[in-house]
Structures are given as structure tokens and as C-alpha cells.
């Protein structure tokens, strides 16, 4: 399944199922065919994603840790996956418009 995140503040953002559901989980949203992130919830979501990215970066750079393999077969980090979503949230927050998917 492909997720299509939409906002009047920015272009549509398409994500594959696994990365989208990981990001949704980080921000406290249940993976679902439809959903919404209200502007009032965006600061908390942005902070949660930034904290998760920081934690992931620390784990990836820990000495003697096998965490880099956890980035997946393609080696794409959480920072790379989350960046476009964070930008979408920031622009939507500035425009005071929700981010929706599946509608």
C-alpha cells in the first residue's frame, strides 16, 4: 500500500507503507487507510520526529553497534525518510491547514 499525504500548503507526499507507518507510529497516529493531522498537533509531531531521528543517529554512530544494518537493505536512514514529512508538517503548520491521507 502507498500512502499519499496531502495538504493545501504543499505538494502531495507519497510514501511506501512501511516507512509511512513507522513515521505515523512515531507521531502517535495509528496506521490507517485514512487520517488527519491537525495543525494543533503538528508541533508535537515535529518534535517527536526530530527526537526519533536524533536517537536513531546516536544509535547508528555508537561504537561497536550493529545499528547501521537496521537502516534497511537500501541503507536509508530515518532522517532521510522523515525529512520530507517534517517539511510538510512545518509548511502546513505555517498555513494553519491539516495534513490528510486516504481522503
Query: 20 lies in a domain?
Result: yes
pLDDT, residue 73, reads 46
The values of phi and psi at residue 14, to 5°, are -100, 135
Q: Are strands 35-37 and 99-101 parallel, antiparallel or unpaired?
A: antiparallel
Query: 62 lies in a domain?
Result: no
Query: 19 lies in a domain?
Result: yes
Residue segments in the chain with a per-residue pLDDT below the cut of 50: 71-73
- Domain count across the chain: 1
pLDDT, residue 61, reads 83
Query: 66 lies in a domain?
Result: no
pLDDT, residue 6, reads 98
Please answer whether residues 4 and 12 qualify as being in contact, where contact means their C-beta atoms are separated by less than 8 angstroms.
yes
Query: 89 lies in a domain?
Result: yes
pLDDT, residue 65, reads 54
The partner residues of 42 in beta bridges, in order of sequence, read none
DSSP state of 72: T
Query: 47 lies in a domain?
Result: yes
**Domain interval for residue 10:** 2-28+38-57+76-101
Cell numbers at residue 85, please? 514529512
The partner residues of 6 in beta bridges, in order of sequence, read 100
Cell numbers at residue 49, please? 520526529
Query: 70 lies in a domain?
Result: no
Amino acid at each position: 500500500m502507498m500512502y499519499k499525504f496531502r495538504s493545501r500548503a504543499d505538494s502531495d507526499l507519497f510514501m511506501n507503507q512501511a516507512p509511512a507507518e513507522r513515521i505515523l507510529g512515531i507521531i502517535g497516529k495509528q496506521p490507517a487507510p485514512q487520517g488527519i493531522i491537525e495543525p494543533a498537533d503538528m508541533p508535537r509531531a515535529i518534535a517527536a520526529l526530530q527526537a526519533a531521528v536524533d536517537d536513531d543517529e546516536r544509535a547508528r554512530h555508537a561504537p561497536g553497534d550493529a545499528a547501521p544494518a537496521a537502516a534497511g537493505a537500501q541503507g536509508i536512514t530515518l532522517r532521510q525518510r522523515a525529512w520530507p514529512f517534517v517539511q510538510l508538517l512545518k509548511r502546513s503548520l505555517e498555513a494553519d491547514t491539516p495534513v490528510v491521507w486516504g481522503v
